[in-house]
């Protein structure tokens, strides 16, 4: 245990942090008005599309149904998109199948050139596309711009990967035979994405699919459909032919649409990012026709701070890892384990940093953290806080929902959270940093691995031997050692255990291609 005066200074800091944190509730970002909901206040209003996209045409739902899309910071309506269903989904799949016949025959250079044009258009309209992300998702403009650039980087990366899809020759044990392996696109691809990264979760999949020569049907989330539709608009301008990209928007009919996208015998691959329960359901549907499946499902990322860590660096690592997207990222630090000898120091420094956050409308330049996506997300964070407190945890900062318009929860730091608290067993997806104490390396590795999922994990240590031991021991698909940021277009992104199948980014184009052997005899 740390000496008494350290604990006393920690308590004093916590109280002062709570006083400063009260300014969060009075921040002027909570006094705002929505700007130009009809055109999102964009420089180019034509990027706002309110129809689905099938076979190169902007279309409404056959029954005229619509989905209302709201700004999570204000609850004001941004606009509507079609409430499409099974009939529109089948049309989109048929259009993709027809387009595949010609798109799959284009050369890698041709696909490269079109994707590079799309990348250039995305960069040209950066301000508008970032603003669109903020309006429908809620994240601050600076963070939305970061997502947009991340999104564009996938298009650039896979444009280059298109011309690196090499085959190979394998020596044959038989005389007069040559074994040639070529790579071919799998066919029509179903893409289902979440709302936390409205643009990047699409391009990470779509970029690879288009580069490989596949065609796609995309189902964006009903909370954030406009970013997807804007990408389709720019792809058309870049020269992507009709039917290569199709977008079906739905909310009430999501079960029927999702089932068709997974079970249709025309579809040859399904790529999904979302929760583990939904991932299991979609994988079962796709199994009926033995489709290729790529899944990035839920996480419960451990973040470990060892006693030999650079504490300042570890605090900054938690800030970017835990609170990016207001805690709504699949690779967020969810369980924060701190070694006892540095626990008080780390907790006080983290509380002080979080107290400086400015919560509000993402369009306000002073805002550092925006709303959660909807009130159900707020309810989940609140439930995790209440469970932790009931089991002995203490509030260092925050701990309450923020009243008024919008789905806001105060950035929260809890101390003395037991290892079996709900927040340590479930992915919170919100601005809650829950600190749990540990004593030894062996103990914390066991705690970190005590979960059914394994997407990402993080730790801070200056012991080189420990870095390698822990990095190899963590049961996750990605490890951040002395960094809280791992997401890049160039890396293999994905998890182990119930966090998913396959890898995206990096060499993920291979997930959208089949290897074919051609054995030449009689030579």
Q: Which residues are catalytic?
A: 296, 330
Integer Cα distance of 323 and 507 in angstroms: 29
Residue pair 138/362 in contact (Cβ under 8 Å)? The answer is yes
Instruction: Give the Cβ contact number of residue 115 at 10 Å.
Output: 28
Q: Where are the alpha helices (DSSP H) in 138-214?
A: 141-162, 200-212
Pair of tokens at residue 164: 């690196």
Residue pair 150/489 in contact (Cβ under 8 Å)? The answer is yes
Instruction: Give the Cβ contact number of residue 212 at 10 Å.
Output: 27
Provide the CA 356 distance to its chain's centre, in angstroms.
26
Closest CA to 508 of 485, 482, 488: 488
Place of tokens 């835990």: 322
Integer Cα distance of 234 and 116 in angstroms: 12
- The count of C-alpha atoms lying within 13 angstroms of the C-alpha of 369, restricted to the half-sphere facing its C-beta, is 28
Closest CA to 371 of 78, 37, 18, 29: 29
Integer Cα distance of 82 and 297 in angstroms: 27
Closest CA to 254 of 217, 293, 289, 222: 222
| 353: CB partners within 8 A, 6+ apart | 315, 316, 319
Residue pair 196/373 in contact (Cβ under 8 Å)? The answer is yes
Can you name the residues that pair with 68 across neighbouring β-strands?
80
Name the region of 396 (left: φ>0; alpha: ψ -120 to 50; beta: rest): alpha
Helix (H) or strand (E) holding 137: helix 126-137
Integer Cα distance of 326 and 259 in angstroms: 31
Residue pair 175/501 in contact (Cβ under 8 Å)? The answer is no
Integer Cα distance of 439 and 385 in angstroms: 24
Residue pair 318/484 in contact (Cβ under 8 Å)? The answer is yes
Return contacts of 376-380, CB within 8 angstroms, 24+ apart: 377/328, 377/407, 377/429, 377/430, 378/407, 378/408, 378/409, 378/430, 380/428, 380/429, 380/430
- The count of C-alpha atoms lying within 13 angstroms of the C-alpha of 349, restricted to the half-sphere facing its C-beta, is 16
For residue 80, report the phi and psi dihedrals to the nearest 5 degrees: -130, 155
């Amino acid at each position: 245990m740390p000496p008494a005066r350290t604990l006393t200074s920690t308590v004093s800091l916590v109280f002062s942090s709570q006083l400063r944190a009260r300014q969060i509730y009075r921040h002027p970002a909570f006094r705002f008005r929505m700007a130009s909901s009809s055109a999102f206040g964009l420089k180019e209003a034509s990027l706002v599309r309110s129809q689905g996209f099938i076979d190169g045409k902007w279309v409404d739902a056959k029954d005229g149904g619509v989905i209302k899309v709201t700004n999570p910071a204000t609850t004001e309506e941004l606009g509507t998109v079609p409430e499409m269903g099974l009939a529109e989904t089948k049309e989109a799949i048929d259009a993709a199948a027809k387009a595949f016949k010609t798109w799959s025959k284009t050369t890698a250079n041709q696909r490269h050139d079109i994707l590079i044009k799309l990348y250039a258009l995305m960069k040209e309209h950066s301000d508008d596309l970032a603003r669109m992300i903020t309006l429908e998702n809620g994240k601050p403009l600076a963070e939305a711009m970061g997502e947009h650039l991340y999104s564009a980087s996938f298009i650039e990366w896979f444009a280059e990967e298109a011309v690196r899809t090499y085959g190979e020759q394998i020596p044959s044990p038989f005389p007069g035979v040559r074994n040639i392996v070529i790579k071919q696109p799998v066919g029509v691809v179903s893409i289902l994405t979440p709302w936390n990264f409205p643009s990047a979760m699409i391009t990470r999949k779509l970029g690879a699919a288009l580069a490989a020569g596949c065609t796609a049907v995309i189902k964006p989330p009903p909370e954030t459909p406009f970013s997807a539709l804007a990408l389709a608009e720019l792809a058309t301008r870049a020269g992507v032919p009709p039917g290569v990209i199709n977008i079906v928007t739905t909310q009430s009919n999501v079960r029927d649409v999702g089932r068709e996208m997974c079970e249709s015998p025309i579809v040859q691959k399904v790529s999904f990012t979302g929760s583990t329960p939904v991932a299991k359901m979609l994988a079962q549907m796709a199994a009926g026709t033995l489709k290729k499946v790529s899944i990035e499902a839920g996480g419960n990322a451990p973040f470990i701070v060892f006693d030999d860590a650079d504490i300042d660096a570890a605090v900054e690592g938690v800030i970017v890892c835990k609170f990016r997207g207001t805690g709504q990222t699949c690779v967020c630090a969810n369980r924060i384990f701190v070694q006892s000898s540095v626990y008080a120091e780390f907790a006080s420094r983290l509380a002080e940093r979080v107290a400086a956050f400015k919560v509000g409308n993402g369009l306000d330049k002073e805002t550092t953290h925006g709303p959660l996506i909807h009130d159900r997300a707020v309810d989940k964070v609140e439930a995790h806080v209440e469970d932790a407190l009931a089991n002995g945890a203490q509030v260092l900062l925050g701990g309450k929902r923020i009243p008024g318009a919008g789905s806001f929860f105060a950035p929260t730091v809890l101390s003395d959270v037991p290892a079996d608290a709900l927040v340590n067993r479930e992915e919170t997806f919100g601005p809650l940093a829950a600190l749990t104490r540990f004593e030894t390396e062996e103990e914390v590795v066991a705690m970190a691995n005590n979960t059914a999922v394994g997407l990402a994990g993080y730790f801070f240590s200056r012991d080189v031997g420990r870095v390698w031991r822990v990095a190899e021991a963590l049961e996750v698909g990605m490890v951040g050692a002395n960094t809280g940021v791992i997401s890049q277009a160039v890396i293999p992104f994905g998890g182990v255990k119930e966090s998913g199948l396959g890898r995206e980014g990096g060499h993920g184009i291979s997930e959208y291609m089949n290897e074919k052997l051609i054995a030449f005899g009689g030579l």
